[in-house]
Amino acid sequence: MTDQTFPPAKPDVVVIGAGWAGSIMAKELTEAGLNVTMLERGHDHSTAVEGTYPGSIDELRGAVRKRLFQKLARTSLTIRNRPDQTALPYRQLAAFLPGEGVGGAGLHWSGCHFRVTEDDLRLRSATIERYGQKFIPKDMHLQDYGISYGELEPFFDKAEKVFGTSGEASSVQGQKTGRGNVFALDRSSHFPLPPMADTFSASVFRQAAREAGFHPYSMPAANASQPYTNPYGCQMGPCNFCGYCSGYACYLYSKASPNVNILPALRQDKRFRLITQAQVLEILLDDTRKRATGVRYIDLKTDSEQVIEADLVILSAFQLHNVHLMLTSGIGKPYDPVSQSGTIGRNFTYQTITSSRVWLPENRCTNQFVGAGGAGVAIDDFNQPGFDRGRAGFIGGSPVWVNQAGLKPIAAAQGSGGKGSPRWGGAYKAAMIDQYRHSFSIDAHGSNMAYRDVYLDLDPTWRNAYGQPMLRMTFTWKDNDIRMNQYVVRQIGDIAQAMGATRTSLNSLLPGQLFDSRIYQTTHLSGGVILGSNPKTSALNRYLQSWDVPNLFVIGSSAFPQGMGYNPTGLVAALAYWSAYHIRQTYLRNPGPMVHA
Partner 1 sequence: MSLFLRSTGTKRTSPLRPLLTMGLGLLGIVAATLPTRPAQADDAPLPAGLIEEGHYQAVLGDCAACHTQPGRPPYSGGMPFKLPIGTIYSTNISPDPVHGIGHYTEAEFARAVQLGIRKDGSALYPAMPYPSYARLNKADIHALYVYFQRGVTPQPVDPPANGLIWPLSMRWPLHIWRWLFSPSIQSAQLRTNNQFSDPILARGAYLVEGPGHCGACHSPRSITLNEKAQTAKDGPLFLSGGGVVEQWVVPSLRQENRTGLGRWSEQDIVDFLRTGRSRTGASFGGMTPVIVHSAHAFKEADLHAIARYLMQLAPARKETPWVYDPTTTDMLRRADLSQPGAQTYMDRCAACHRTDGAGYGTVFPPLAGNPIVMTDDATSLIHIILAGDSMHALPTAASAFTMPGFADTLSDREVADVVSFIRQSWGNNSSPVKESTVKHIRHSIPQAETPDQLPKN
Supply the residues annotated as catalytic.
524
Closer residue to partner 1 in complex, CB, 274/574: 274
3 state DSSP class of 210: helix
CA 37 to chain centre: 24
Nearer to partner 1, 237 or 422 (CB): 237
Interactions with partner 1, residue window 90-129 (CB under 8 A) = none
Residue 303 CB contacts under 8 Å (≥ 6 apart), including other chains: none
- CB 399 to partner 1: min, Å: 30
In this structure, how many other beta carbons lie within 10 angstroms of the beta carbon of residue 275? 23
Question: Helix axis angle, 200-211 relative to 479-498, nearest 10°?
Answer: 100
First-to-last alpha carbon distance for the chain, in angstroms, is 39
Least distance from C-beta 266 to partner 1, angstroms?
9
Q: Does 240 bind partner 1 (CB under 8 A)?
A: yes
Q: In angstroms, what is the minimal distance from the CB of 240 to partner 1?
A: 5
Candidates 65, 82, 176, 267; binder of partner 1 (CB under 8 A) is 267
The C-alpha atoms of residue 474 and residue 582 are separated, in whole angstroms, by 34
Neighbouring residues of 430: CB distance < 8 A, sequence distance ≥ 6: none
The CB-of-260 to partner 1 minimum distance in angstroms stands at 5
Is the Cβ of residue 275 or residue 484 nearer to partner 1 in the bound state?
275
Question: Does residue 420 interact with partner 1 by CB under 8 A?
Answer: no
Q: Which stretch binds partner 1 (CB under 8 A): 126-134, 143-151, 226-234, 528-536?
A: 226-234
Q: Which amino acid is at 202?
A: A
Nearest distance from C-beta of residue 272 to partner 1, angstroms: 12
Which of 509, 482, 596 shows the shortest CA–CA distance to 545?
A: 596
Taking the least distance from each CB to partner 1, the nearer of 232 and 369 is 232
Least separation in angstroms between CB 12 and partner 1? 23
| 382-401: contacts with partner 1 (CB under 8 A) | none
Go through the chain and tell me how many residues it has: 597
Q: Is the peptide bond before 568 cis (omega within 30 degrees of 0)?
A: no
Closest CA to 185 of 561, 571, 530: 571
Of residues 25-44, those binding partner 1 (CB under 8 A): 44
Q: Which is nearer to partner 1, 263 or 285 (CB)?
A: 263
Handedness of CA 459, 20, 93, 61 (dihedral sign): negative
Q: Min. distance of Cβ 54 from partner 1 in angstroms?
A: 7
3-state secondary structure of 432: helix
Q: How far is the CB of 456 from partner 1 (least distance, A)?
A: 33
Q: Does 253 bind partner 1 (CB under 8 A)?
A: yes
Q: Does 238 bind partner 1 (CB under 8 A)?
A: yes
Binding residue for partner 1 (CB under 8 A) from 15, 21, 142, 242? 242
Q: Specify the 3-state DSSP secondary structure of 282.
A: strand
Q: Which of 222, 265, 501, 539 binds partner 1 (CB under 8 A)?
A: 265
Least distance to partner 1 from the beta carbon of 360, Å?
A: 22
Please give the Cα distance from 485 to 467 (Å, whole number). Answer: 40
Position among 208, 263, 344, 559 found at the interface with partner 1 (CB under 8 A):
263
Distance between CA 433 and CA 439 in Å, rounded? 10
CB nearer to partner 1: pick between 103 and 294: 103
Closest to partner 1 by CB, 37 vs 259, is 259
Report the nearest approach of partner 1 to the CB of residue 68 (Å). Answer: 15
Q: Annotate 560-577 with b (16+ C-beta within 10 A) or e (fewer).
A: bbbbbbbbbbbbbbbbbb
Site string for partner 1, 44-63 (x = CB under 8 A): x-xxxx--xxx---------
Q: Total residues contacting partner 1 (rule CB under 8 A)?
A: 28
Distance CA 346, CA 143 (A): 12
Residue 135 binds partner 1, judged by CB under 8 A = no
Sign of CA dihedral 27, 32, 37, 39: negative
Give whichever of 166 and 383 is closer to partner 1, judged by the CB atom.
Answer: 166
Cβ proximity to partner 1: between 18 and 594 the closer is 18
Helix (H) or strand (E) holding 574: helix 569-582
- Of 109, 176, 88, 143, nearest in space to 517 by CA: 88
Compute the least distance from the CB of residue 347 to partner 1, in Å.
36
What's the Cα-to-Cα distance from 209 to each of 131, 203, 319, 359, 404, rounded to whole Å?
Answer: 28, 10, 35, 16, 16
Q: Which of 125, 268, 341, 585 binds partner 1 (CB under 8 A)?
A: 268
* Residue 260 in the binding site for partner 1 (CB under 8 A): yes
Residue 83 touching partner 1 (CB under 8 A): no
User: Among 252, 281, 358, 442, which residue interacts with partner 1 (rule: CB under 8 A)?
Assistant: 252
Does residue 302 touch partner 1 according to CB under 8 A?
no
Nearer to partner 1, 177 or 240 (CB): 240
One of 235, 476, 504, 586 touching partner 1 (CB under 8 A): 235
264 binds partner 1 (CB under 8 A): yes
Q: Using CB under 8 A, which of 174, 178, 213, 233 touches partner 1?
A: 233
DSSP conformation class of 53? T
Asked if 136 interacts with partner 1 (CB under 8 A), we say no
Return phi, psi of residue 65, to 5°: -95, 10
Asked whether position 270 contacts partner 1 by CB under 8 A, the answer is no
Nearest to 188 by CA among 209, 213, 165, 158: 158
Q: How many CB atoms lie within 10 A of CB 19?
A: 30
List binders of partner 1 among 170-199 (CB under 8 A): none
Based on DSSP, count helices (H) and strands (E) in the chain, helices before strands: 13, 24
* SS (HEC) of 433-445: HHHHHHEEEEEEE
CB-facing half-sphere around the CA of 144: CA atoms within 13 A: 16
Classify residue 121 by its DSSP letter: G
- Which of 131, 200, 232, 520 binds partner 1 (CB under 8 A)? It is 232
Report the candidate in 391, 404, 504, 399 with the shortest Cα–Cα distance to residue 444.
399
Point out which residues bind partner 1 (CB under 8 A). 44, 46-49, 52-54, 227, 232-238, 240, 242, 251-253, 259-260, 263-265, 267-268
